[in-house]
Chains A and B, each alone.
Chain A
Amino acid sequence: MASGCFLDYVDPWVNWTWLSTHVPLFWDALQQHIALTAFAVIGGLVLSLPLGVAAHQWPSLRNPVLAVFGVIYTIPSLALFALLVPYTGLGVVTAEAGLIGYTVLILVRNLLVGLESVPQDVIDAADGMGYRPFARLVRVELPLALPAIFAGVRIATVTTIGLVTITALIGLGGLGQLIYKGLIENFHTPLVVATVLSIALALVVDLALIGVERLAVPWSRGTAG
């Protein structure tokens, strides 16, 4: 039932004529790739912030939270999608459920590391100044944890840019769709161009995040990551 196509014909790495007529295909894929990644990282952050803070406040939660998301991290994506499709459909919800699940582990870990690295004397000083626990968390601990949080966001983002490709299984996938096409049709152009674009995207986004971090955490310049 599968079709294999193997020829003596040598396929060039990039067929520029074909590429020039298929630019919109790559542009749409790139946009979808960015949207899927952004949503996964932001969704992951929204979930990880309360989870990480709770695990920090109540240390007995720490291991269960890390264990649950550690297990989710190990579920093969094909199995996860097959289980979710009847409930969440063939689309963005299913894709994001998987991608967000995978980012939470990275983000919670970094959030915990950041919060745990806040020096005890800073916490004592804040207490001495009369901060209540919530105000101390928001105005002292979280800002000091920002460099570690940013490091987590950068890892999660770059990882997700790679992971998005697997959502091609359910007809999304961004650039993964084109990588898939190249593999199945034994056609180098979409494979090579989509791979290069996805690497470039990871580099550009990582640099952009470093820039944002410098604006948000100017005191930690040079020590990030």
Chain B
Amino acid sequence: MNFRLGSGRTLAAIAAIVFAVTACGSTGGGGTASPGKGTLTVAGFNFPESSILAEIYGKSLEHDGYTITYKLLLGTREVVAPALESGQIDVYPGYAATDLEFYNKGAGEASGDVTATTAKLNSHLSALGLVALTPSAAVDQNAFAVTKATQTKSNLTKLSDLAPIGSQLTLGAGPECPTRPYCQPGLQKTYGITFKAFKPLDTDGPLTRAAFKNGSIDVGLVFSSDGDLNSLGLVVLQDDKHLENADNVVPIMRQAAASDEVKRVLNAIDAKLTTADLVTMNSQVSIQHQDADAVATAWLQQHNYYS
């Protein structure tokens, strides 16, 4: 008798939990149908810049009348690519060279030429029913920075400007830099820069920051859209001879979802987006801990989407 009573309570408790969970599940799923232009699912990877870009894409499409579902902070392309191919998501903010090297399984076809890289990317995507839209000028790639003081003193704007003075400068980067084509050998070959010395540090990490601060390096490897470049007083030199792979921001979409109108909206965003915008927005999210969707809304307001 005792057991029967006990098990009855257990069953009731379990039933209550099951009910609560199924109730949660049904409210959590799919958005409500709206009389708008249809529903699109925008995905993003798990780093702040990707959330910001996904929010900007999503909000601009929402502004145009689409209903948007977000799938943000997803792990890696290994998870996102199959989800895109199977229609679980419709678009994600990609990077031309990185995505090309993902979809061609690391064949090394990416180059510093963004048009050629995107064309190659599209040749791989079309077989999967996917398409890359027009790449933005905004880029998140390996870059070489100097301090504002160095920039002003030697009047530097682009990497070519380093060639005549390279013999007075020390380069700092990860220890693999002297053997990697995108790093020291590339700077030598493409730009004719021979440095006075090389300091093995880290790739875009705290050692590089510290070395800039204490003056032990003059030129350092960073990523072009790092949020802390401004606050650290670092200036990225323009890669005028396209040594680095073109990791320009580019929406990767399902062809079935890429109507002319969607393409127009997203291409208009990418035409306005700059690397400086990425640096600013990354610093707002990563350093000031603002929310990505608020940062995205602010960018759209600046660009007169809501006026």
Q: Is the CB of A85 within 8 A of B79?
A: yes
Q: Which of A58-109 contact B (CB under 8 A)?
A: 78, 81-82, 85-87, 89-92
Contact B25 A2 (CB under 8 A): no
Nearest-neighbour CB distance to chain B for A123, whole angstroms, equals 17
What 0/1 pattern do residues 1 to 25 of A give for CB contact below 8 A with B?
1111111110000010010000000
Cα-based distance from A143 to B6 in the complex (angstroms)? 11
Query: For residue B228, which residues in chain A have a CB less than 8 angstroms away from its CB?
Result: 5-7
- Cβ of A168: which chain B residues have Cβ within 8 Å of it? 46, 73, 75
Whether, in the assembled complex, B265 has its beta carbon less than 8 Å from a beta carbon of chain A, the answer is: no
A90 touches B75 (CB 8 A): no
| CB <8 Å contact, B223 and A4 | yes
Q: Which residues of A contact B72 (CB under 8 A)?
A: 171
The total number of A-B Cβ pairs within 8 Å is: 137
Instruction: Choose among A8, A86, A189 the residue that contacts B82 (Cβ–Cβ < 8 A).
Output: A86
Stretch touching chain A among B16-24, B114-122, B190-198: B16-24
In the complex, whether B297 has a CB less than 8 A from a CB of chain A is no
Chain A residue contacts of B25, Cβ below 8 A: 35, 39, 92
B73 contacts A42, C-beta separation under 8 Å: no
- What's the nearest-Cβ distance from chain A to residue B70, in Å? 9
- Give 4 A-B pairs besides A5-B286, A171-B73, A180-B46 with Cβ atoms closer than 8 angstroms: A3-B282, A42-B21, A143-B3, A170-B75
Q: Which residues of B contact A (CB under 8 A)?
A: 2-3, 6-7, 9-10, 13-14, 17-18, 20-21, 24-25, 28-29, 43, 46-49, 71-76, 78-79, 82-83, 85-86, 88-89, 95, 98, 140-141, 203-206, 209, 223, 225-228, 231-232, 247, 282, 285-287, 289
Interface residues of A (CB under 8 A from B): 1-9, 15, 18, 31, 35, 38-39, 42, 78, 81-82, 85-87, 89-92, 143, 168-171, 177, 180-181, 184-187, 189, 212, 215-219
